[in-house]
């Protein structure tokens, strides 16, 4: 058993979180993570309406009596989703943990705090983590360049980003991006984090609600098989390398604009990948850490393996190095 400020603050057994994942962060996965003693987050915007989110929270509660949270991804857009209504649905549901990401969560904090909700803000730079700490979030999760989804534009890998953040952050901190096993967890703790947040590794578990072919593709893929799309638009996203993501890179590198790739990157196409297992139907997020993934375990097997091997690593291998 590994006890850290993260496990204490959020009342979970293990210092492991499953961050919000569009299309994937649903009741089945989040409940499995909670039942395994880690902290899972439902992804609010995967639900088409705030009412659907309320139902998904209730569905999760039917599957677990352990703590879990909700991810609210705030992305500035021309037609933004009704964030306040999603926030209200979270508050009224009685969920006590929220992961915010994508943008400064300051306008949402008072409502969450009034409801006694603990907020972990996920960001991709030391300066944003410092900012989040200064506005009163309870914890930060800091995503290195390796991560699936949005790594930001600074390109600082976790090996530098995590200790650099640890030097400035006094609240509990999760290391995110590139973690999949006990070695990563122990390294994160050594770098100054209080636990790890994983996306890609949880996507490749039995309970992740995505087609088996996606999981098999992740096992087959190496650490080199991701693409950074939207680089020239300064809205970089790391996704699995496939026909569509390579085409998007080619068009934008060739001077194309968002309009030229809009249809290729449509969320409905990405969803088809997960639902139908058509791996070239659209873009789908996956991180470099897929190169370390060699199996499709249950969530319980995965979490148990990580924490058991981490304890062994600390007590046997590392302790054995000291004289």
Ligand X SMILES: Cc1cc2nc3c(=O)[nH]c(=O)nc-3n(C[C@H](O)[C@H](O)[C@H](O)COP(=O)(O)O)c2cc1C
Contact residues: ligand X, CB under 6 A:
19-22, 24, 43, 71, 73, 101, 122, 143, 146-149, 176-179, 197-201, 203, 285-287, 289
Q: Which two tokens stand for residue 154?
A: 């600074």
Task: Return the number of the residue (294 or 315) whose C-beta is nearest ligand X.
Answer: 294
Mapping DSSP onto H, E and C, the string for the chain reads CCCCHHHHHHCCCCCEEECCCCCCCCHHHHHHHHHCCCEEEEEHHHCCCHHHHHHHHHHHHHHCCCCCEEEEECCCCCCCCCHHHHHHHHHHHCCCEEEEECCCCCCCHHHHHHCCCEEEEEECCHHHHHHHHHHCCCEEEEECCCCCECCCCCCCCHHHHHHHHHCCCCCCEEEECCCCCHHHHHHHHHHCCCEEEECHHHHCCCCCCCCHHHHHHHHHCCCCCEEEECHHHCCCEEEECCHHHHHHHHHHHCCCCHHHHCCCCCHHHHHHHHHHCCCCCCCCECCHHHHHCCCCCCHHHHHHHHHHHHHHHHHHHHHHHCC
Nearest distance from C-beta of residue 178 to ligand X, angstroms: 5
As beta bridge partners, residue 42 has 70
Nearest distance from C-beta of residue 274 to ligand X, angstroms: 8
Task: Return the number of the residue (223 or 256) whose C-beta is nearest ligand X.
Answer: 223
Task: Return the number of the residue (157 or 232) whose C-beta is nearest ligand X.
Answer: 157
φ, ψ (nearest 5 deg) of residue 185: -60, -45
Are β-strands 69-73 and 16-18 bridged in parallel, bridged antiparallel, or unpaired? unpaired
Position closest to ligand X via CB: 199
Nearest distance from C-beta of residue 255 to ligand X, angstroms: 28
Nearest distance from C-beta of residue 99 to ligand X, angstroms: 7
Nearest distance from C-beta of residue 149 to ligand X, angstroms: 4
Nearest distance from C-beta of residue 147 to ligand X, angstroms: 3
Say if residues 292 and 223 touch (Cβ distance below 8 Å): yes
How far apart, in Å, are the Cα atoms of 60 and each of 70, 201, 212, 272?
Answer: 11, 21, 22, 24
Nearest distance from C-beta of residue 101 to ligand X, angstroms: 3
Nearest distance from C-beta of residue 321 to ligand X, angstroms: 27
Task: Return the number of the residue (21 or 252) whose C-beta is nearest ligand X.
Answer: 21
Task: Return the number of the residue (143 or 181) whose C-beta is nearest ligand X.
Answer: 143
Nearest distance from C-beta of residue 62 to ligand X, angstroms: 23
Task: Return the number of the residue (223 or 301) whose C-beta is nearest ligand X.
Answer: 223
């Amino acid at each position: 058993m590994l006890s850290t400020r993260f496990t204490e603050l959020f009342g979970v057994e293990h210092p492991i979180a499953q961050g919000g994942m569009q299309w994937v962060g649903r009741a089945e996965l989040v409940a499995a993570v909670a039942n395994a003693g880690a902290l899972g987050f439902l992804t609010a915007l995967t639900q088409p309406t705030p009412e659907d989110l309320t139902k998904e929270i209730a569905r999760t509660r039917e599957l677990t009596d352990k703590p879990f949270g909700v991810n609210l991804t705030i992305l500035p857009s021309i037609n933004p989703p009704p964030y306040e209504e999603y926030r209200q649905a979270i508050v009224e549901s009685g969920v006590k943990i929220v992961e915010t990401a994508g943008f400064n969560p300051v306008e949402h904090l008072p409502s969450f705090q009034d409801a006694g909700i603990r907020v972990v803000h996920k960001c991709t730079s030391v300066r944003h983590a410092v900012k989040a700490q200064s506005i009163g979030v309870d914890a930060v999760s800091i995503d290195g360049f390796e991560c699936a989804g949005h790594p930001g534009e600074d390109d600082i890998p976790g090996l530098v980003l995590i200790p650099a953040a640890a030097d400035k952050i006094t609240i509990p901190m999760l290391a995110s991006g590139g973690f999949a096993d006990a070695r990563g967890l122990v390294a994160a703790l050594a770098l100054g984090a209080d636990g790890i947040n994983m996306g890609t590794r949880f996507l490749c578990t039995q309970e992740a609600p995505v087609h088996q072919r996606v999981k098999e593709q992740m096992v087959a893929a190496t650490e080199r098989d991701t693409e950074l799309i939207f680089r020239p638009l300064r809205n970089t996203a790391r996704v699995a390398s496939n026909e569509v993501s390579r085409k998007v890179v080619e068009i934008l590198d060739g001077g194309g604009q968002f309009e030229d790739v809009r249809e290729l990157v449509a969320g409905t196409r990405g969803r088809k990948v997960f639902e139908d297992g058509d791996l070239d139907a659209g873009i789908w997020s996956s991180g470099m850490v897929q190169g370390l993934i060699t199996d499709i375990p249950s969530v319980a097997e995965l979490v148990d393996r990580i924490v058991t091997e981490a304890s062994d690593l600390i007590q046997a291998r590392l302790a054995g190095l000291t004289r």
